[in-house]
Each structure stands twice: as C-alpha cells, then as structure tokens.
Amino acid sequence: MNQQEQTVVYPRSQFKDMPRDLAVRLGSLNGFQGAILGERDYRSLADSIASIEPFTLILFTEPLSFEHVRCKEYVETIRHKTDSELDETVFKNFGDEINEKMIVFLRNHRDPNDVPLNLLMRQDYPKAKKILQLRHPIVWGKNWKAGKYTAARIRIERQRRYNMPEPLCWGKTNLPQQFYFMKTRGTYARGCSSSSGTREAHSYFGLAFMKLSRRFSIPSYILVYDKDNILRFVTQRDGFLIIPDSMGSNCEVDYKKVSTLMAGTGKVKAVESPNYTEIKEIKIFCEKNRNRD
C-alpha cells in the first residue's frame, strides 16, 4: 500500500469573506439542539444518521488581537464581587477553627442567613487587622486605616465575544473544533480536545461520519474565526474531512480500526505563525490509497 500523502495548502492570503449561500446555511442552524450520544457503536450510529443529511464544519480560531483586548466590541467585561481584604484574611488564617465551630453548631441548629458564621468571623477581626498591619504597613497607613479593608472588592473578568452564528459561538475556545450536523433532525455534536465529553463526541461521531463517507459524499466546510473576530471562509469540499486531534480518545473502538478509517479520510491542520498570533495556512492531507472498512 502506498502511504504517500497528497497535501493541499490554503495560505492565509486565500481566506475569503463568507459566501452568501454558506452564510444562509449557517443562519439556518440557529435553534439546532445538541445531539445526545446514546449509541456508542459507531456503525449503528452511522446507520441512524445516514438519512438525515449529515454535513460537517471545521472551525479554527485565532487568538484575539492584542489591540482589541480592551474594546467593548470585542471583549465583554464582567465584574464579580469578592470578599473584603479583612474577610479573606480571616478565612485564610482562622478558617479551620471557624469550620470546626460551625460543624458543632449545625448539628442542632440551622444557619440559613449565615448569622452565627458572621459572628464567629467578627470575633477574629482584631487578630486579622493586626496581621494586615504587619504584612502591609504602607498600604495600611494610606488606605486601609480609613476602613477600605472592610469593603467588598471587585474582580474584573474579560471574556472574548464570539460573534458567530449559533451553535458555533457556544464553544468559546481557541482550540480547533469540529461540528457534526444532522440537518433534517435539527441536531449537532461538537468535537474538540477541550474536555472528555467533546473528545468522546469527536471520536464516535467522527468514526460514524467516516464510515458513512465510504457510502456517499458528506460536505465539509472549513472556517477561520480570525484575530479581528471575523468569520472567514477557507474552502468547501464534497468529501468528508476531519480534525485528527484526539480522534479515537475516550472511546472503546480498537486503535487499528480507528487507523484504518483515518487512513482514507482527509485530515485538516492549521499552521500557526512563529509567535502564535495568527494562522499562516490550512493544510488538507490524505493518503493516496483509500482503505475500506
């Protein structure tokens, strides 16, 4: 068997605006529900989805450009209230003692509003204040002496906005993702290496789609969500393509069977720039001789 690979390269300069027909198709996915992986025999899974117009979409995401990290258009700012400096000091230094007292108290009482807990904490405030004075004498003299150490603090979290059609926007990750769509059923599965669940979905649905691709063509779309939060089109293929990352993990299919199916399937990889800020090119590669399952 000839193991030589055929490779097609799509450089960044060839990434395009979204074609109108694909934009319409993506808009039709709004409301699709996540598929439940009940069947863990990929052959039976393939049979169950053969007649519901399967297609796949591969999504690569670049890190957000540094120039956008504080722009509301690109990043959502979320403010979280956290404990005061004083309360945090009490928990860090006297938390074990407080917990032991609360265990004894809760054996015979209820504390729905944390009243006894707050009383126990206040008993340790004088000791916590001394700790803060010793650890941070300069800050204490400038700010905390006026009582700022008792005020609730604000933790600021910034999350990138993923302004893509549903369900592409739900993943919220820069890792490569593969979406398996079952059109007439209105469902999809998301494969990714970000968690055990998405690795499992990638393996079982990927194997099922590979199995089906031996029987008929499954359309594949490759997109890039770029560093400026613009969804870019790379290419569309009539044959099934797959992200090889984590394929076969979190599933019970024999490694040799996975390798056999993978050998005749086009695989997609992104090549990043040396500083990892953008994708230089997308590669599709496949062995010349297709194995049959």
pLDDT score at 151: 78
> Per-residue pLDDT for the chain (293 aa), expressed as one digit of tens each?
445 678 999 999 999 999 999 999 999 999 999 998 876 899 999 999 999 999 999 999 999 999 999 899 999 988 878 888 888 888 889 889 888 888 888 877 776 677 788 888 888 888 888 888 888 887 776 666 556 777 778 888 889 999 999 999 998 899 999 999 999 999 999 999 989 999 999 999 999 999 999 999 999 999 999 999 999 999 999 999 999 988 888 888 888 888 888 888 999 999 999 999 999 999 999 876 544 55
> DSSP secondary structure string, the chain?
---PEEEEEEEGGG-BPPPHHHHHHHHTTTTPEEPP-----HHHHHHHHTTS-EEEEEEEEPPPPGGGTT-TTTEEEEEEEE--HHHHHHHHHHHHHHHHHHHHHHTT---TT-HHHHHHHHHTHHHHHHHHHHH-HHHHHHTGGGTGGGSPEEEEEEEE-----TTGGGS--SS-EEEEEEGGGTEEEEEESSSHHHHHHHHHHHHHHHHHTTTS---EEEEEE-TTS-EEEEEEESS-EE--TTTTTTS-S-HHHHHHHHHTSEEEEEEE-TTSSSEEEEEEEEESSPP--
pLDDT score at 3: 54
Q: What does the block give as tokens for 39?
A: 């069947």
Contact in structure between 243 and 259 (CB atoms under 8 Å): no
pLDDT score at 105: 81
pLDDT score at 49: 92
